Structure 1
Amino acid sequence: MIYDKFSEGTYVTNVIVPLLRATLEDLPNGCICLSTAERQSLASKARKNSRTNKERMGKKPDVMVFNQYAEKTFELVYVESSRIVSCATKKTNDNVKLWRETLDGASFVNIACRLTSNQFGIIGIQRVKALARLLITLRNVLIVNKSLLARALEQAVTNPPRNVHSSPIVSTPPYSLN
């Protein structure tokens, strides 16, 4: 089969990125940036550095979608992609990495905006069968999230914090080294 010859990078560059660009085009409330450089996640780096005194690297998703608002950068979508034909271990490892990145992103937004409830979501995408439906849903969720983010940041600046307790801990899915 020809698909097993595609590398993960080829799949991301030739399939995932063009679909994301088409989906994210002309969103209301300003533009959204798409990073394909496998750059370090700011949210992941912030979480890792909050636990230690030394500087640690954050995870590097294959693609990130981020928005800048009020001189802050918010990562809204993380994409991890396995090769089209890959082993179950690679898919599981990517799933766990994506889960952790998504939790880090949601935590980062909650700290920056002092949200009072779970009204904002960070999206993690791994290769799925119904990609077109997912991208339409992604576009709709980002439209809502961008307006919620702007409103929450404005409230965070003008109002004192209401929720002084830390958010509940969410556990990650089981992970094996096999």
Structure 2
Amino acid sequence: MYAECSRIICTKQKEEDDDIKLWCECNDGLYWAQKSRRLKKEQFGIIGIQVVGCRLNLNILIRDALEIYRYYKIHEMDIPIQYSNDPSILADFIYTLLLFRNTLIVNMSLLRNAHDRRSNRNLDSSTVTSPPPNS
């Protein structure tokens, strides 16, 4: 999981730059996760959270069966920074947090159950023994 946060008041250019930066970080994370573990490509994804202004974007980067990287915006919501009588604002915020939690639980389970990419031949000792010389 990666997160990118900016100030409450920011420019459109800053928002775009942070989105590209978050995509790059997610891309690096997915590369290292795939390199270190034998993960099923269609199921595992790197989560990216971008907080820009008063908005929260929940993104995910996955690699499909055809080895194509796909970056999706799962959910976008306004962050309730002031008191409001509107229950839909709080419900949307809770929905986003639960969606994030469930995605994180699935990814952690996949990482835990995946096998390492180390080969079996490296598990044996590499020390070669030879008979002692005849004196």
User: TM-score band, normalised by the shorter chain?
Assistant: 0.5 to 0.7
Question: Quick check: 2:22–2:48 contact (8 Å CA) kept in 1?
Answer: yes
Which segments of 5 or more consecutive residues in structure 1 lack a partner in the other structure? Answer: 1-76, 161-178
Alpha-carbon RMSD across the aligned residues, in angstroms, is 2.1
Instruction: For residues 29-58 of structure 1, give each alpha carbon's deviation from its aligned partner in whole angstroms, at most 9, with x where no partner exists.
Output: xxxxxxxxxxxxxxxxxxxxxxxxxxxxxx
Greater Rg, structure 1 or structure 2? Answer: 2
- Pairing of 1:93-104 with structure 2 (within 5 A): 93-104=17-28
TM-score by length of 2: 0.54
Distance apart, 1:130 and its partner CA: 4.7
- Pairing of 1:1-178 with structure 2 (within 5 A): 77-127=1-51, 128=56, 129-130=77-78, 132=93, 133-152=95-114, 155-156=115-116
Instruction: For residues 47-95 of structure 1, give each alpha carbon's deviation from its aligned partner in whole angstroms, at most 9, with x where no partner exists.
Output: xxxxxxxxxxxxxxxxxxxxxxxxxxxxxx1110111111111111100
TM-score by length of 1: 0.42
Higher helix share: 1
Q: Identity across aligned pairs (percent)?
A: 41
Which segments of 5 or more consecutive residues in structure 2 lack a partner in the other structure? Answer: 57-76, 80-92, 121-135
Report how many aligned residue pairs link the two structures: 82
d(CA) in 1 for partners of 2:12 and 2:111? 36
